[in-house]
Structure 1
Amino acid sequence: MTAGSDEPGGPAQAELRVPGRGAGLRDVARHRFLLKLLVDKEIKVRYRGSVLGLLWSYVKPGVQFIVFYIALGIFLGLEQSDRNPDGLPNYAIYLFSGIVLINFFSEALGNASRSIVGNSGLIKKIYLPRELFPVSAIWVSGIHFLPQIVILVVACLFTGWSPSILQLAVAIVGFLIAAFLATGLGLIFGAINVYYRDAENLVDMLLMVATWASPVLYSWEMVRRQLGDTALSIYMLNPLTVSVETFHYAFWLPTTDQQFALPPGFLPVWLPVALAVALFTVILGQHLFRRLEGRFAQEL
């Protein structure tokens, strides 16, 4: 069949495409209206029959913060005080700035990895770009992230927050690192989960480790003090470590006397490395997703 002639061998041969495969993430940009519909659907379904609704975006991180603050800040002495001058000043800000970012990543990756299986009814009935489902999960997590970041900013203002333009810009880059990493891994595990449901359990374990494998609850200096510089370098290869540290740099550090140092080479080395790793994860996730999406409907 040809696009410009009824005869075989015409001048404009139609491009042959494998059924069920689109243009990848480019299709998401072309179908922004569908993306909005999916995001609206996810929010409505999630809070259907819920009394608090979107207020859960405040309640869940609030309870998590209180538990960690009491256990670590007070009982284990990570909060700076007269009895513990070596602790972290404004530990509440330090803790919450890490929690809001790691919660965004955890929710985004967890929902994205289940998005294809969770929308199996749509996928088996009609064709639409399958990347829309994991990407919509990331967007929903971003919507839940907004009220948490508002609370963080308000709390920072009460403690004398005065960030520089550089610090705010670094925080935006840190958020993009977490978003890109969640998107790439969401594409990978979302596709694998169609074929092997064990992927959901693996993601749950990874997310459990993620909170402790990045400086959300403790400082990076504790890693260097306990394990040495080599271990710290390995630790900094984790993009989430860098992402969380950007939020500490932008939100927590300006509320202190700013005498606390960043990890060695943080801005010139580790920030670009983390962004490159996150972008590579997106490329890898898109490649794997496109190779596997052709049999999604059959497998589901």
Structure 2
Amino acid sequence: MNPHQAHSATPWAMFASLWRNRQLIRQMTRRDVVGRYRGSIMGLAWSFFNPVLMLFVYTFVFSVVFKARWGVGGEENKADFAIILFVGMIVHGLFAECINRAPGLILSNVNYVKKVVFPLEILPWVALGSALFNCFVSTAVLLLAQFAINHIFSWTSMIFPLVLLPLIFAGMGFTWFLAALGVYVRDVGQVTGIFTTVLLFLSPVFYPVSALPKEYRGLLQLNPLTLIIEESRKVLVFGKLPDWSALGIAVLAGLTIAAAGFWWFQKTRKGFADVL
């Protein structure tokens, strides 16, 4: 294997690699998920109990301690605020997990760079698959809690994966970019944690967009998480259809970011072996 050989960086190559290596991505994702809980007594059950615990904490802190209300109108019980907030945490958690892991993806798999003929471009897909597993487990907890509390299960919840598509594509683009950059600039790993924490408070996770003064709402709309969080609440909590036109534009933007990130990764990967 020549570690310095050029690799195709076209959008077609991005999807072709995903399809060609789909079995390997599935196996590595399963290994990554299981590996997190290897050696623990409860094993994969922790992936279910962790979001359950967090939902209870959110319910107690925001509805009992702070007595917060979202202002959706009608009868809003103590758990409603926590459920609405939890949707924002799920979306942010999916994006944050990919971004925070990205700078170390290549650094933690040096053997794949130097010794094995391996499609390095699939490592971000593996990170995304692991994050999606946690995301959908948390979503299942959310839907069960909503059914237990409000006796509601809306069919629009089935649309949630479609709502996540723009975030998935954009997240992959950023992950490819940061995974490659992290090889050359090791400080990137420190910056991403700060960035995702700041993004948590600059996204409509703990508050609705309408709570902001009008002059700041436009700035909040520039946040890529804002649209996804708002539309996710529509389909998961309020039983409404999403804004398809806005999601369509977001998908195109996400694909553009994914293509740009993949191009950067493929063009810079030939230098990985020298640096590592």
Fold match (TM-score > 0.5): yes
SS in 2 for 1:90: helix
Q: 1:19 maps to what in 2?
A: 5
Conserved 8 A contact 2:25-2:122: yes
* 1:150 Cα deviation after fit: 1.5
| Number of the residue aligned with 1:143 | 133
2:255 counterpart residue number? 279
Alpha-carbon shift at residue 188 of structure 1 (Å): 0.8
Displacement of 1:200: 0.9
Partner residue, 1:3: none
Whether the 8 Å CA contact 1:113–1:200 is kept in 2: the answer is yes
Alpha-carbon shift at residue 267 of structure 1 (Å): 2.0
Rounded Cα–Cα distance in structure 2 between residues aligned with 1:277 and 1:245 = 17
CA drift of 1:248 comes to 0.8
Deviation at 1:291, TM superposition (A): 1.5
Change (3 A) 1:164 1:149: closer
Whether the 8 Å CA contact 1:237–1:274 is kept in 2: the answer is no
Specify which structure has the higher proportion of helix.
2
Alignment of 1:62-141 (within 5 A): 62-79=52-69, 90-141=80-131
Q: Structure 1 129/20 Cα, relative in aligned 2: closer, same or farther at 3 Å?
A: farther
Residue of structure 2 in register with 1:8 after alignment:
none
Q: Is the partner of 2:135 in helix, strand or coil? A: helix
**Structure index of larger Rg:** 1
Deviation digits for residues 238-257 of structure 1 (CA, Å, limit 9, x no counterpart): 22111111121012213xxx
State yes or no: 1:294 paired with 2:264.
Answer: no
- Quote the Cα distance in structure 2 between the aligned partners of 1:147 and 1:134: 20
Deviations along 1:92-143, whole A, 9 cap, x unmatched?
A: 2212222222222222332233211111122211122211111111011112
Alignment-derived partner of residue 163 in structure 1:
154
Query: What do the CA deviations read for 1:54-78 (whole angstroms, capped 9, x no partner)?
Result: 2232333334333433333333332
> Within 5 Å, which residues of 2 pair with 1:214-253?
214-223=203-212, 227-228=213-214, 230-253=215-238
SS at match of 1:106: helix
Maintained 8 Å contact 1:28/1:129: no
Q: Distance in 1 between matches of 2:152 and 2:8?
A: 47
CA root-mean-square deviation: 2.9
Q: Which runs of 5+ in 2 are unaligned?
A: none
Q: Is the 8 A contact 1:236 1:270 kept in 2?
A: no
Q: Give 1:89 deviation, angstroms.
A: 7.8
Counting matched residue pairs gives 267
Please identify, of 60-69 and 136-145, the stretch whose mean Cα deviation from structure 2 is larger. Answer: 60-69
Paired letter, 2:7? R
In terms of mean alpha carbon deviation, does 283-292 or 89-98 score higher? 89-98
- 2:34, 2:44 within 8 Å by CA — same for their partners in 1? no
Q: Which runs of 4+ in 1 moved over 4 A?
A: 85-89
